[in-house]
Amino acid sequence: MVRGIKRGWGNSVFRWISGLFCRDVGIDLGTANVVVYVKGQGIVGNEPSVVAIKRMGQRGNEKVIAVGTEAKAMIGKTPHGVETVRPLQHGVIADYDMTESMIAHFLSLANGGRSQFAHPRVVICVPACVTEVERRAVIDATLGGGAREAYVVEEPVAAAIGAGLPIAEPRGNMVVDIGGGTSEVAVLSLGGIVIHEALRSAGDEMDQAIIAMLRQNYTLHVGEVTAEEIKLSVGSAMPYEGEEEEMEVKGRDLMDGLPKAVRIRAAEVRDALNPSISRIEDMIRDSLEETPPELARDIVDQGLVLTGGGAQLRGLPAYLQESLKIPVITAEKPLFSVALGVGKILEDLDAMKKVLISVDKGMQ
Ligand code: ADP
Ligand code: MG
């Protein structure tokens, strides 16, 4: 949905004046997590991209009751009339109003809770594959959430900058970001994207694969929060030392509907994750095949850098290194690479605007 962006003069002037008193903000608007960066301060917040709403009468009339960590804690446990929503699906806005509420919440958090006066300049990232309409929707939701000016940067560019890759140089840099809803691969050189591919196989799909495995092997029904916990504690891409590890999982029996507990093995979880990991591997291989030879040469030497929460899956770098035969390095803080990249752009916004072709300004 694209919204009109013209607002009255009075409102603009008020926003401009109030903007003088707040700091520029960078937002990594992920499907799983939102990470907030404040200029001069660094990362100030990291919360799940979840909103809890209470329905008031007919559809369309709902009140936001919690955002972020508080809302995630409610998933699968809500009483009648209350719902948890993940406003972003596969990197794009699925629920516009909820996205706007979420951005408003994080902008107020960035400004120490003083939302009514927080009208900063905001740099926000979008996956490189989004359409013009989807990009516009992100800008509008950012302005609607309280920003005075909104700039969009493509996620792989931010991830690469945040991971410390020298993307401005005439050199092939490959970055692979594995988030909740999407995995993206990009080859960058001279400040721009040369090759880009994205895929819906990422963290959420892995959680769904664990749910399906438990259903099939144990007739056990678990929710996505439990599935993610299993992935984080015993999930892996390759066999590892001590992998005979077991874990007790509790859920509901599909046969008799009663609660039950089963013990599962790490190897079973690895098998369940394997198809998602293979799809990510194939995507990277395709991109390597399409990369111009002069840039491919650099990637063979320097390798690829993994970012995003999914990069933390046990054994993933080793697995990819073995199958792709190039060095695979995990960024220092994979969950924060994009936000740190957005932050670097923000710290020098006026200079970066000239360099980054993907920066887009949403005027009021
Ligand atoms: P997004 O950018 O889509 O918000 P993130 O980069 O924040 O996503 O990554 C979130 C995803 O990373 C989730 O699916 C989460 O389960 C997954 N994740 C986080 N830590 C780990 C880990 N140690 N092992 C496997 N997956 C992980
Ligand atoms: Mg991300």
Per-residue pLDDT of the chain (364 residues; tens, 9 = 90+): 223 333 445 556 655 555 555 789 999 999 999 999 999 999 999 999 999 999 887 666 889 999 999 999 999 999 999 999 999 988 889 999 999 999 999 998 888 766 555 689 999 998 888 888 888 999 999 999 889 889 999 999 999 999 999 998 999 999 999 999 999 999 999 988 999 999 999 999 999 999 999 999 999 999 999 999 999 999 999 998 776 788 999 999 999 999 999 999 999 999 999 999 999 999 999 999 999 999 999 999 999 999 999 999 999 999 999 999 999 999 999 999 999 999 999 998 887 776 555 566 665 4
Q: Is 19 in the pocket of ligand 1 (CB under 6 A)?
A: no
Distance 111 CA to ligand 1 centre (A): 26
Q: What is residue 5's predicted lDDT score, i.e. its pLDDT?
A: 39
Q: Is 309 in the pocket of ligand 1 (CB under 6 A)?
A: yes
Tokens representing 98? 């909820």
Tokens representing 278? 């293979």
Choose one of 312, 316, 320 to mutate for the ligand 1 pocket test, by most ligand atoms within 8 angstroms of C-beta.
Answer: 312
Instruction: Look at residue 322 and give its three-state secondary structure.
Output: helix
Contacts of 37 (CB under 8 A, 6+ apart): 25, 26, 27, 28, 43, 44, 339, 340, 342, 343, 346
Alpha-carbon gap, residue 1 to 92, rounded angstroms: 11
Backbone phi and psi for residue 325, each to the nearest 5 degrees, phi listed first: 60, 35
Under a CB-based contact definition with an 8 Å cutoff, are residues 147 and 361 in contact? no
Instruction: Look at residue 165 and give its three-state secondary structure.
Output: coil
Identity of the amino acid at 67: V
Alpha-carbon gap, residue 172 to 200, rounded angstroms: 25
Instruction: Look at residue 261 and give its three-state secondary structure.
Output: strand
Distance 13 CA to ligand 1 centre (A): 40
Crossing angle (nearest 10°) for helices 316-324 and 266-290:
40
Q: What is residue 111's predicted lDDT score, i.e. its pLDDT?
A: 80
Distance 30 CA to ligand 1 centre (A): 10
Count the Cβ atoms, other than its own, within 10 Å of residue 257.
8
Q: What is residue 234's predicted lDDT score, i.e. its pLDDT?
A: 94
175 sits in which H/E element: strand 173-178
Identity of the amino acid at 356: L
C-alpha of 34 from chain center: 7
Q: What is residue 8's predicted lDDT score, i.e. its pLDDT?
A: 46
Q: What is residue 131's predicted lDDT score, i.e. its pLDDT?
A: 86
Q: What is residue 3's predicted lDDT score, i.e. its pLDDT?
A: 30
Look at residues 140, 111, 115, 146 and name the one whose alpha carbon lies nearest to residue 126.
Answer: 140
Distance 256 CA to ligand 1 centre (A): 33
